[in-house]
């Protein structure tokens, strides 16, 4: 009897060892490649500032990582309709740039707000190599400093707006700058780990041990004290609508939530109208009764 059991036990051990080795190899691959799984930098511009209906101008913003030379970010500055217009710092998603974001900022332009769009290093015409969580946080901070120190924007009139991955970046910037007037998060996720768990290929990996790009917004929003507006598409095909709701539920009582008809990038007539109305009410200090708490 023992002679028949030993091969089976040995086979089971071999299978287990192979499975462990396979997981380790997959995790090692994930460690080295995850930046490329998260970021999809778009270099090519589909428009120039002069092609916008609004008077947009190119701006150059200095940024420096510790121990590295100064690099330049490319941005577009769109002045407000009035000299006292509120200012919005717009942070785009993982596969966009300032030129491809023109449609998404249309509601802000229509409301007459001043808008700064900025490309992270590695995107658009900004300098730098492939981005990381650390560098995009630095880039957002550089854009904030540019607005406050070079353009003289009062933080009390400066709103942070992030779409998708840009929402996670805006949340981190709001954590660092509670003096900002408010935070708008559109179609964003709870964390990279939660997004990865949506894919079957990562289901067995111990992601908490192997992620070096985390974007853990769900752990940050509860500590934010500034007003927050969450916007999320009811049919979002990339970031589940439930993730937007979870961010809202984890936030302080100063948060509001508005559902947008459509998907992740839907800014058609109906979606744009909902966004425009929600942003106007939020920035003008009105409470959206259906979603406030």
3 state DSSP class of 103 = coil
**Cα separation values, 289 from 222, 255, 257, 286, Å:** 21, 11, 10, 9
Identify which of 190, 242, 196 has the alpha carbon closest to the alpha carbon of residue 217.
190
Q: Which tokens belong to 185?
A: 């998060």
Let me know the angle formed at the C-alpha of 80 by 224 and 91, rounded to the nearest 5 degrees: 40
What's 148's DSSP letter?
Answer: I
Cα–Cα distance between 23 and 37 in angstroms, integer? Answer: 18
Cα–Cα distance between 116 and 159 in angstroms, integer? Answer: 10
Q: Which tokens belong to 57?
A: 């101008």
Residues assigned a catalytic role: 164, 236, 265
Per this entry, what is the length of the chain?
Answer: 293
What's 117's DSSP letter?
Answer: E
Identify which of 82, 87, 90 has the alpha carbon closest to the alpha carbon of residue 114.
87
Q: To 10 degrees, what angle do helices 165-176 and 133-145 make?
A: 60
């Amino acid at each position: 009897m023992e002679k028949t059991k030993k091969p089976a036990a040995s086979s089971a051990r071999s299978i287990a060892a192979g499975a462990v080795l396979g997981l380790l190899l997959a995790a090692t691959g994930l460690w080295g490649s995850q930046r490329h799984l998260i970021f999809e930098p778009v270099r090519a511009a589909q428009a120039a500032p002069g092609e916008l209906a609004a008077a947009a101008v190119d701006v150059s913003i200095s940024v420096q990582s510790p121990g590295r030379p100064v690099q330049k970010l490319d941005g577009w500055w769109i002045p407000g309709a009035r000299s006292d217009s509120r200012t919005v710092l717009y942070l785009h998603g993982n596969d966009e740039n300032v030129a491809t974001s023109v449609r998404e900022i249309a509601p802000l332009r229509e409301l007459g707000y001043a808008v700064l769009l900025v490309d992270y290093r590695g995107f658009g015409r900004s300098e730098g190599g492939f981005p990381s969580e650390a560098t995009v946080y630095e880039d957002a901070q550089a854009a904030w400093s540019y607005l406050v120190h070079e353009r003289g924007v009062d933080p009390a009139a400066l709103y942070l707006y992030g779409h998708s991955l840009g929402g996670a970046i805006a949340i981190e910037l709001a954590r660092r700058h509670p003096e900002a007037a408010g935070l708008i998060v559109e179609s964003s996720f709870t964390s990279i780990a939660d997004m990865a768990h949506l894919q079957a290929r990562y289901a067995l990996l111990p992601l908490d041990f192997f992620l070096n790009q985390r974007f853990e917004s769900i752990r940050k929003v509860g500590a934010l004290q500034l007003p927050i507006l969450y916007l999320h598409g009811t049919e979002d095909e990339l970031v589940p609508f439930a993730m937007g709701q979870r961010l809202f539920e984890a936030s302080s009582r100063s948060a509001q939530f508005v559902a947008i008809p459509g998907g992740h990038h839907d800014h058609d007539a109906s979606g744009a109208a909902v966004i425009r109305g929600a942003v106007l009410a939020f920035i003008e200090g009105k409470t959206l009764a259906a979603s406030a708490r």
